Structure formats: C-alpha cells, structure tokens
C-alpha cells in the first residue's frame, strides 16, 4: 500500500523519551485483575525467558487460556521494562480475528487501536502507525509483506497464532521462517496452537537446527461442558422434524444417503458397498439407541428415520433455542449466549430467517450472524453486549471455533459440518462441499461453551455417527487444495532454487508435503496461462503481476486483461460475481420461472456470464432507488449475494490501484474512461474473461441435440442444469468453443458451471495450448489445421490475420 508495515521509523533500537511517555498509557483498571486471572498469566515468566533464550518456542494451551491476547503483551512489556526496542508481528488466520484481537488488546492496555502501540493490518485496511509495536495481521498479509521486505529486518518477534488450523498460508510461512531464522539469528519466532499435538511443530524445527525446541503447555481452566447429541436434542425438545425447511409433520422416508465427501464418480460397486455400510450403521445405531434405554421410542424412531446426512436440522435448532430459554432462563449471572456452528453463509442466512420469524412473536433473541466474508464493521457487533433482557444468539461458521472468543457463551449447537475445499489431483478437480468436521474440531467447538460456567453442547448427529464417521484430525489445507497461488508466491518470494524442479524441492520441505501430482498440475496451469516459463519455472511479467494480486491467478488474469483491453467495469463485475456463490436463485418449486428470468438476462446469448452481467447492472440501477431487494426478488436473484459482489468489486478495484494497474482515485466513478473504452464490446469482454478462465475451455459437439462438451482427459460433460446453456441445442451455437468457470464432479457426473460460447480468435490469442490439444500445430507463426471435408482430411494453413480480418470457421 506504500504505507509502512510496523514502526519502521525507529529501527535503531533506541527508545525515545516520547515513546516512553506513550508507553505510560493507563491500562484498563477493570481488566488488570481479569488478565492476571487467565491461566497463561501463571506461565508469564517462563514464556518471557524461554523466548529470550530460544529462537523458536512452541506454546500450546486450550482455547481461552489467554495465548492470543496475552503472550504478545508479555513479550512487549518485558522489552519495555528493559528499555529495549521491539516490534512484534502476530499473525491471525482471518481478517476478523486480526481486528477483534487488536481491539481487545488495545482495550486491555487502555489505548485505541492504531494510535498507541497496538495496531492491525489486513488486506485493504490498516490501523497502525510508526509507533505501533504490536501488529496483528493476517498470515496472508505477512506473506505479501515478505515479497517486498524479505528479511523483515525491523521485526524482532513473529508470533504465528492458531498454527493447529494448518491453513496453507500458515504452513507456507512456517517453511519460510525456518529458513529466515538461519539468516536472522536475532529473530524470535513463537508458534501458538490450541491443541496438544504441538510437538510436531517443534520436531519440524529441531530437524533443521539440530537443537531442542522448547514446547510450553499452558494448563487450561475451563468449566465442564456436557456433550449431547442428536438423540438428546430430540428427547429434550420433542421435535421429530429433522429437516432444514420443515416437512409439515409428514414423516417422509429419505432416499438412500450418500456421503457428501466423495468427489470421484461412484461406480456401481462402491455404491453397493456404501449401502451395505449404511445398513450396518443403521443396525448399530438402532442397537445403541435402544441399549441406552435413555430415549423414548419416539426419539429412537425419529433419529433412525429422519437423520439425513445431507441436511442440517434447522427446525430442531429453533426448538432447541426455545428449550434453552425454558430450561435456563436469563438472570443476572453471566453466560447466557448461544453459539451455533453452521457450514456456510447459505445456512446462516436460512437459519437466520427462520429464527427471525420465531423471534417476531417473542423478541427474546438478539441474533448475530458471523461469517468471514461479512463487512468488518458488521462483524464488530458480535463483541458488544446484547440489548438488555435479550439472549445473544450467534450464527457462525468455524471462524468461531478457536480464533475468536465471544463473551458469555454457555450453549453451543453444533451442526458438525464445515465447508471444506477438497482437491482431487488425479482428476484435477476441486470441490467445496459441506463435510463432517474432525473429532478434534467437534471437541474444540464444544469447549466454547465452558468459558464462564459449566455449559452444554448439542452435536446434531447421532453419537455413534461421530464415533464411526468422523476423522481424528482435519487434513492440512496444503494437501487438499490446488497449488497455483502458492507456486506463484514461492517464486515471487524467491525462496526456492531458480531452476526447474525448484518448486518441488521447496514444497517437499513443508510440514505435510502435497502430492506431487498436485504440483505438476499447478505448474502446468501456470505454464499454460503464461505466468511461469516452461524451461526454468521462472515468473514471467504476467506471473509477477499476478503474484502481487491477492486473488487466484484466473481471477487475477481476467482483471489484468480487463485493464489492458479497456473493459474494466464489466470485468470487475464478472470477477466479483465469479469469486463467490451464484447470484441466481433456483427454488425447486419455481425452477422454470427462475430459468426463464435467467435466460431473459442472457438476452439470447449462449452465455451465463452475459446473464450475470446484465442481472448485476439492472439490479444496481434498481438499487440506486432502493429497489434492489424488490428487483432481486422478482427476478430470482439473491440480493445479499449481489450486495456482497458489490463489496468485492470495490475491493478488487482497490487491489488494482495498489498494483498500479488503475490510477488512484476514489470509488468506481473515478475510473479513467480509457480503461472502459471497450466496456460495451461483448466480444472484448468475453476475450478478457476467456483469458482468465483458460484453460477452462472445451469443445462443443454440435451434432448432438443437447450441448455436450469435450474436455481433454475427461468423459463428455454437460452444462450445469442451472445454466442458460443447459438446454441449448448444439446447432444454436455459432462457435464451437466453450469457456467455463469451473467443472465439478457430482454423483450425477461432471458438470460445468457458468459457461459461455466463445469464438476461436480469443482462443488463438490467449489459449493457444487449447489448440495444441485439438491437433492444431503452429508453423512459422501460422496455424496448421486439419479439415475434414467430404472425401478426405486436408491440411490447411491459417494465418492469424485471417482470423482477425475475415473471421474464420471454427
């Protein structure tokens, strides 16, 4: 951002009088005793001394014991007491925790964030100045900072928080720091983990340094939390409706359930094996429910018949809240809040609507959604006390699992699901699906109920299901995610040998190295989009530019091309929409009407992207007159998703300004007109889009009635049923090339999300390798194609100019 990182001005190591005066800020009187009561306070001296004597220290301790808020302060206070200079950077896994923690720490110290010694910095937002000595930032931000400041000379301590989450950024940073520590003997690194398996981190550093890495375990001090399961929730509430939407009392028999986790296409054999397994589980479940004899026969029947792996029993959640209200009425004491864990924004919204409906009659609840993609101002509300007499009810994703501590929670309702990205390197397909959490996560979630007094936690699955189906620990993100972005960063940070194979060498040194095939796929993609050279895996000019943008390379390339080719506005809109969930809603009851509305937006073009663009523009017009919500409702659009797209759009614009691809100025009104000179040229917009989507292109089989699409290495695929192209007849397409946003493997086969027909010229310009796949070869800068005419195959040479000036058959 051009602004400094941590107090760079006084790196001399000498503390000024001014600084000393500033340090004399009055700590919050009420919180001093609170801080001293935290379990971590007992280990204060040990922590300070260990960090002073060792380059690297690992600290583990139960959530809530005070690691995040206290350890940085212990270190800072120790340095100030000795009159020494220090600059602490503490990384957090998410934006919201960086803000929340810095505000809390500042409050404990009696100062304001950004003006005293405590500050935060996240993507596009910074509250810190040259006096900041304790900076909370996201892990991703520190990684980007390393691009311009590779040895972090001004930083004395780096604290990596929540390393147990094993995010790809955190695992990556750990490799980098291990190398950096060898060069910077004065640097201190502290790893903090909420789980007990912290020894693994110590070993990782020990093998490199051949010296012992101290591990400090902070004893927890939490109240007991009763573990309750689906059967207990049904028993307590008498609610036998285990559906999400409410099944109006009729007890329907669910279709055989499938595991959401599998991404591969099932063959008949595994399906049979699966149903065998289900049968066994059913019997076991029945036996365990009956054996306990704790549950009424109605409960046993409800759980056995209605438990559905795919659906979250949102109806039951509402009933449980009512049960909590009755069994644990609000009084003067602490600890009335309820924390509900859900997999994602959709479910949060759905439940929020249902609870609002119930709340409308009794007004007992103060509802707070909490999700990583929410605006930061919105997120802050959850830390405030609820209005008098109301029960705080927080609807959160796994963001509240360990990094954020919300006051007052004594009840947890856990859907036991989270959204997890998985990646199948063999099929080169990724999925984002709600999956069961690990047992470690379930335990962590439960622990959130025991902070101020004994609590209760309902896991909304049968007890036996947890024991049989939940993994012990989650897989590290690095082994279940595509590696393109990571590879770009490794190159931009210059931390791997500059030769072919350098990336593999680097990633093999990670805590849990990813599968080699994942890396091969990532390098291949980066070669194809022109971000890495084939000879030595070095960054090209485009690659360098992509590495500075904190978005995936495909979104990034579209944005860059949008600037270069003068269609910034439409590309901003499209990329913002493509980076999140769909803006189109397709209710089952009125799918036909919804499809029609979407087709109307596409305006006759075989393009989902055209539909998105028009839908957004018309919604935005309506929103200017505060009619957006109504417009969305009438046209089967998701108003919230559109609002979020508008936010992301502004964020992307700021990123482009940061990267100096767009000149400075504020808001989209200030965009230089030249950057939009082609904004109304659909062909150019599509070309920018294709440049980013590539290599997500396929060839259409126009002889068929339903559009079938060929992609190299996959069986024939179809456009997703929600696409405007789902029913397009092959012959209606002008061109035979299709660009698509993503391909997703489901139980019903492979589907393409968001497809657009494209003409061959942009493929020639930006997706040349796709031509190679089609048997087109290049001869002296022209293309040699094989044409099948009536009698024989014929080779023809086509010059690029032919395409440009005369157009050309596909």
What residues make contact with ligand ADP under the rule CB under 6 A? 38, 61, 63-70, 100, 104, 383, 405, 407, 451
CB of 135 to Mg ion, least distance (A): 16
Dihedral sign, Cα of residue 790, residue 795, residue 801, residue 804: positive
Span interacting with Mg ion, options 61-69, 132-140, 702-710, 728-736, rule CB under 5 A: 61-69
58 contact choice in ligand ADP, Mg ion, none (CB below 5 to 8 Å, kind-dependent): none
383 contact choice in Mg ion, ligand ADP, none (CB below 5 to 8 Å, kind-dependent): ligand ADP
Q: Which is nearer to Mg ion, 443 or 538 (CB)?
A: 443
CB of 577 to ligand ADP, least distance (A): 34
CB of 337 to Mg ion, least distance (A): 18
Could you give the CA distance from residue 587 to residue 285 in angstroms, rounded to a whole number?
34
Residue nearest to Mg ion (CB): 68
CB of 141 to ligand ADP, least distance (A): 19
Binding Mg ion by CB under 5 A: which of 43, 50, 57, 68? 68
Q: For residue 563, count CB atoms less than 10 angstroms from its CB and return exposed for 0-12, middle for 13-18, buried for 19 or more.
A: buried
Contact 139, 121 (CB under 8 A): no
Span interacting with Mg ion, options 60-68, 415-423, 509-517, 666-674, rule CB under 5 A: 60-68
Closest CA to 131 of 112, 152, 150, 144: 112
Q: What does DSSP say about strands 737-746 and 697-701: parallel, antiparallel, or unpaired?
A: antiparallel
Could you give the CA distance from residue 639 to residue 616 in angstroms, rounded to a whole number?
10
Q: Which is nearer to ligand ADP, 100 or 455 (CB)?
A: 100
CB of 3 to Mg ion, least distance (A): 27
Output the DSSP codes for 65-79: SSHHHHHHHHHHHHH
Q: Which is nearer to ligand ADP, 67 or 741 (CB)?
A: 67
Could you give the CA distance from residue 162 to residue 96 in angstroms, rounded to a whole number?
14
Dihedral sign, Cα of residue 112, residue 116, residue 118, residue 120: positive
Q: Which is nearer to ligand ADP, 61 or 767 (CB)?
A: 61
Output the DSSP codes for 148-160: H-TT-TT-SEEEE
38 contact choice in Mg ion, ligand ADP, none (CB below 5 to 8 Å, kind-dependent): ligand ADP
23 contact choice in ligand ADP, Mg ion, none (CB below 5 to 8 Å, kind-dependent): none
Summarize the chain as % helix, strand, coil (round to 5). Answer: 45, 15, 40
407 contact choice in ligand ADP, Mg ion, none (CB below 5 to 8 Å, kind-dependent): ligand ADP
* Three-state SS at 383: helix
Q: Which is nearer to Mg ion, 70 or 430 (CB)?
A: 70
Give the number of residues written for the chain: 810
DSSP secondary structure letter of residue 121: E
What angle, rounded to 10 degrees, do the helices at 230-237 and 297-306 form? 130
The two tokens of residue 721 are 């049923």
405 contact choice in Mg ion, ligand ADP, none (CB below 5 to 8 Å, kind-dependent): ligand ADP
109 contact choice in Mg ion, ligand ADP, none (CB below 5 to 8 Å, kind-dependent): none
65 contact choice in ligand ADP, Mg ion, none (CB below 5 to 8 Å, kind-dependent): ligand ADP
CB of 206 to ligand ADP, least distance (A): 24
Q: Which is nearer to Mg ion, 113 or 675 (CB)?
A: 113
Could you give the CA distance from residue 7 to residue 382 in angstroms, rounded to a whole number?
30
Long-range contacts of 698-705 (CB under 8 A, 24+ apart): 698/737, 698/738, 698/740, 698/752, 699/736, 699/737, 699/738, 699/774, 700/730, 700/733, 700/735, 700/736, 700/737, 700/738, 700/757, 701/730, 702/730, 702/731, 702/733, 702/736, 703/730, 704/730, 705/729, 705/730
Instruction: List the x/- string, 744-783, binding to Mg ion by CB under 5 A.
Output: ----------------------------------------
Q: Which is nearer to ligand ADP, 69 or 756 (CB)?
A: 69
Q: Which is nearer to ligand ADP, 34 or 505 (CB)?
A: 34
Phi-psi region at 609: left, alpha or beta (left = phi > 0; alpha = psi -120 to 50):
alpha
Span interacting with Mg ion, options 65-73, 389-397, 515-523, 546-554, rule CB under 5 A: 65-73
157 contact choice in ligand ADP, Mg ion, none (CB below 5 to 8 Å, kind-dependent): none
CB of 67 to ligand ADP, least distance (A): 4
Q: Which is nearer to ligand ADP, 408 or 754 (CB)?
A: 408
Interface with Mg ion (CB under 5 A): 67-68
């Amino acid at each position: 951002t051009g602004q400094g990182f941590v107090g760079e001005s006084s790196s001399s190591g000498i503390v000024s009088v001014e600084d000393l005066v500033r340090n004399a800020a009055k700590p919050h009187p009420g919180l001093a005793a609170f801080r001293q009561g935290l379990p971590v306070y007992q280990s204060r001296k040990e922590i300070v001394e260990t960090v002073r004597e060792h380059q690297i220290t690992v600290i583990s301790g139960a959530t809530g014991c005070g690691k995040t808020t206290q350890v940085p302060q212990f270190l800072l206070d120790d340095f100030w007491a000795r009159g020494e200079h220090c600059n602490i950077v503490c990384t957090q896994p998410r934006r919201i925790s960086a803000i929340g923690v810095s505000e809390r720490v500042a409050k404990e110290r009696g100062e304001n964030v950004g003006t005293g010694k405590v500050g935060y910095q996240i993507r596009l937002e910074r509250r810190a100045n040259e006096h900041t000595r304790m900076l909370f930032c996201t892990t991703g931000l520190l990684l980007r900072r390393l691009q311009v400041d590779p040895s972090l000379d001004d930083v004395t301590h780096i604290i990596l928080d929540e390393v147990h989450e094993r995010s790809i950024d955190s695992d990556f940073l750990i490799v980098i720091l291990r190398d950096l520590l060898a060069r910077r003997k004065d640097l201190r690194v502290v790893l903090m983990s909420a789980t007990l398996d912290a020894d693994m981190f110590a070993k990782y550093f020990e093998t490199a340094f051949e010296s012992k890495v101290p591990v400090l375990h902070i004893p927890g001090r939490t109240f007991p939390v009763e573990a309750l399961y689906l059967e207990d929730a049904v028993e307590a509430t008498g609610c036998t409706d285990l559906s999400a939407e409410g099944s109006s009392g009729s007890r329907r028999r669910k279709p055989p359930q499938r595991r959401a986790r599998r991404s591969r296409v099932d063959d008949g054999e595994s399906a049979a094996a699966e149903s065998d397994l289900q049968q066994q589980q059913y019997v076991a479940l029945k036996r365990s429910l009956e054996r306990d004899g704790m549950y009424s026969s109605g409960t046993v029947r409800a759980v056995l018949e209605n438990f559905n792996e795919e659906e979250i029993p949102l109806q039951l959640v509402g009933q449980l809240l009512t049960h909590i209200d009755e069994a644990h009425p609000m009084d003067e004491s602490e600890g009335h809040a309820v924390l509900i864990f859900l997999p994602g924004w959709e479910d949060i919204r759905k439940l929020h609507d249902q609870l609002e409906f119930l709340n409308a009659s009794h007004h007992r609840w103060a509802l707070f959604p909490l999700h990583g993609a929410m605006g930061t101002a919105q997120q802050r509300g959850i830390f405030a006390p609820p209005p008098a007499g109301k029960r705080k009810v927080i609807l959160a994703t796994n963001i509240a699992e360990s990094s954020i501590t919300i006051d007052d929670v004594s009840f947890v309702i856990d859907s036991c699901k989270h959204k997890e990205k998985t990646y199948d390197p063999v099929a080169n397909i990724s999925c984002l699906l709600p999956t069961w959490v690990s047992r470690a996560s379930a335990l962590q979630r439960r622990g959130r109920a025991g902070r101020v007094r004994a609590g209760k936690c309902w896991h909304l699955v049968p007890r036996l299901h947890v024991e049989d189906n939940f993994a012990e620990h989650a897989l590290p993100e690095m082994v279940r995610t595509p590696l393109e972005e990571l590879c770009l960063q490794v190159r931009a940070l210059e931390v791997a040998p500059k030769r072919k194979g350098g990336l593999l060498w680097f990633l093999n040194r990670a805590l849990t190295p990813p599968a080699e095939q994942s890396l091969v796929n990532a390098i291949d993609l980066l070669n194809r989009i022109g971000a890495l050279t084939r000879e030595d895996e070095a960054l090209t000019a485009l690659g360098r530019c992509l590495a500075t943008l904190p978005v995936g390379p495909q979104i990034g390339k579209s944005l860059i091309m949008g600037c270069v080719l003068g269609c910034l506005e439409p590309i901003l809109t499209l990329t913002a929409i493509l980076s999140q969930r769909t803006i189109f809603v397709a209710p089952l009851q009125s799918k036909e009407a919804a499809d029609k509305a979407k087709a109307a937006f596409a305006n006759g073009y075989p393009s989902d992207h055209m539909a998105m663009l028009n839908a957004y523009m018309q919604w935005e017009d309506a929103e200017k007159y505060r009619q957006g919500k109504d417009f969305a409702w009438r046209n089967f659009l998701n108003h919230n998703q559109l609002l979020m797209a508008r936010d992301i759009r502004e964020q992307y614009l700021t990123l482009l300004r940061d990267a100096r691809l767009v000149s400075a100025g504020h808001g989209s009104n200030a965009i230089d007109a030249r950057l939009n000179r082609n904004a109304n040229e659909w062909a150019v917009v599509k070309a920018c889009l294709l440049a980013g989507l590539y290599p997500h292109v396929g060839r259409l089989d126009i002889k068929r009635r339903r559009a079938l699409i060929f992609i190299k290495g996959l069986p024939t695929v179809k456009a997703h049923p929600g696409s405007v192209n789902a029913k397009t007849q092959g012959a209606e397409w002008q061109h035979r090339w299709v660009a698509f946003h993503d391909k997703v493997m489901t139980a019903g086969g492979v589907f393409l999300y968001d497809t657009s027909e494209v003409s061959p010229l942009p493929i020639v310009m930006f997706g040349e390798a796709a031509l190679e796949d089609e048997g087109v070869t290049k001869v002296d800068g022209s293309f040699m194609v094989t044409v099948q005419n009536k009698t024989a195959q014929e080779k023809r040479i086509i010059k690029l100019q032919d395409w440009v000036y005369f157009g050309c058959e596909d």
